[in-house]
Amino acid sequence: MRADDRRRQLLEVAAAIIVADGAAAVSMERLAAEADVSKALPYKHFDNAEAVLAALYRRETSELGRHVWQALSDAPPGSDLLRVGIGVFLDEIIERGPVMDALSRPGSTIAAVADPDQRGVIFEVDLLSRFHGLSRERAKAVAGMVQGAVVGAAATLRSGHGERGQLEDDLVAAIAAMIRPPAGST
């Protein structure tokens, strides 16, 4: 098997392990056993189990971001880009939910390990600038709040405590308020 195919396989096996038993259940030995490979092979692709989880987190968030960006890029002129982006995000969260839940449990350090340079925030700044017309300075000011609202809505949706349509409407309204120019600014 080619190296990138093997790495992809190991990440798929890791995803299955964390969905079944949580992130703490991922070990290099279990990964090897469930992938039906030698104990040494996972170490050719990852330094340790934490590196596996970080790579899985980066993969999942990168794919989610890629789908949102693509949907916004492909949206017809005049589309409500905020609603388009949020709709795709929620669709992706439903699809990726079990893996993202396991990677993002309260107290988890996986996100910090996977994204020490805060590329997720940089992505959000780029998205807000490109598709919603915010200056980079304004986008930096609201990116964290937007991420918090989006992550909160996703958690609510995945936990079954909200109806999709209402959550989407609420999230659109909340983010629209965040990205609106502050009162008194020109």
Q: What confidence tens digit (pLDDT) does each residue in 65-115 have?
A: 999 999 999 999 999 999 999 999 999 888 888 888 888 777 788 888 888
Kindly provide the residue ranges of all beta strands, DSSP E only, lying in the chain, ordered along the sequence: none
Q: Is the pLDDT of residue 63 over 90?
A: yes
What H or E segment, with its residue span, contains residue 45? helix 41-45
pLDDT of 186 = 55
Structure tokens at 18: 């964390």
| Half-sphere CA count of 28, side-chain side, radius 13 A | 14
Q: What is the pLDDT of residues 145-160, one digit of tens each?
A: 998 898 888 888 888 8
Q: What proportion of the chain, given as a percentage, has pLDDT over 70?
A: 98
Spatial contact of 147 and 120, defined as CB atoms under 8 Å apart: yes
**Residues for the chain: how many in total?**
186
Taking the CB of residue 148, how many other CB atoms lie within 10 A of it? Answer: 12
**Mean pLDDT, to the nearest integer, of 59-69?**
94
